[in-house]
Chain A
Amino acid sequence: AQSVTQPDIHITVSEGASLELRCNYSYGATPYLFWYVQSPGQGLQLLLKYFSGDTLVQGIKGFEAEFKRSQSSFNLRKPSVHWSDAAEYFCAVGDDSGGGADGLTFGKGTHLIIQP
């Protein structure tokens, strides 16, 4: 069964500093990988996705993520965070048989706090 681990429950970063959120997955084949962001009381917004090809993917809001098969990781990065980036971030993995449309398995999330 597939699984996703987000090792950091909370991360605090100063505004303007760089950010890296960790995600490790367990999956037997080539995974479809996603990062979502959730603001309090809101639904999830898709930041970026990896299906195949270039292992460095660009997303919205200045985020990027790198797929590393050897480490089973898909870490999310941003060079300079803004106070509006404070939110809950979820990594998710999907089965490739459905082209990324199958039910996703989510991690437990990382709560990002931005210090002024």
Chain B
Amino acid sequence: DAGVTQSPTHLIKTRGQQVTLRCSPKSGHDTVSWYQQALGQGPQFIFQYYEEEERQRGNFPDRFSGHQFPNYSSELNVNALLLGDSALYLCASSLLAGGQFFGPGTRLTVL
């Protein structure tokens, strides 16, 4: 049983560009959450998708948007990249009351 998978593993972009990160949830999970983890910090919640809709959102600007597909996979899009967006982006999948299971993350570097 595959766990949560994310692609790509690493990504380098320049300021002002746009980026799309992808996540496939653990088999049987229907909820996907995205987190940003800056170097030396704990993860910060960006938003969560359930039934193809944004169910909950953290304190992130509208430059951060997402999507969930009918097969429960998800995308995170970030527009107008800033240097401060450089971080490890983590995807987590879950079922209600089951705890969240994290993928290995995508390391985004903005130059």
Q: Which residues of A are at the interface with B, using a C-beta cutoff of 8 A?
A: 4, 34, 36, 42-46, 49, 51, 90, 92, 98-109
- Say yes or no: A49-B104 contact (C-beta < 8 A), given A105-B45, A106-B43, A108-B41: no
- Say yes or no: A43-B47 contact (C-beta < 8 A), given A98-B96, A108-B42: no
Q: How far is the CA of A100 from the CA of B97 in the complex (A)?
A: 5
- Say yes or no: A46-B42 contact (C-beta < 8 A), given A98-B96, A103-B56: no
- Say yes or no: A109-B97 contact (C-beta < 8 A), given A36-B102, A102-B56: no
Which residues of A lie under 8 Å from residue B42 when comparing CB positions?
4, 90, 92, 106-109
Is the pair B97, A101 in contact by a Cβ cutoff of 8 Å?
yes
Q: Which residues of B are at the interface with A, using a C-beta cutoff of 8 A?
A: 4, 31, 33, 35, 40-45, 47-48, 56, 58, 90, 92, 94-105
Which residues of A lie under 8 Å from residue B35 when comparing CB positions?
104
- Say yes or no: A46-B100 contact (C-beta < 8 A), given A101-B94, A102-B48, A103-B47: yes
Q: How far is the CA of A42 from the CA of B4 in the complex (A)?
A: 12
CB distance from A21 to the nearest CB of B (A): 13
Q: How far is the CA of A102 from the CA of B73 in the complex (A)?
A: 17
Q: How far is the CA of A54 from the CA of B27 in the complex (A)?
A: 29
CB distance from A99 to the nearest CB of B (A): 4
Is the pair A100, B102 in contact by a Cβ cutoff of 8 Å?
no
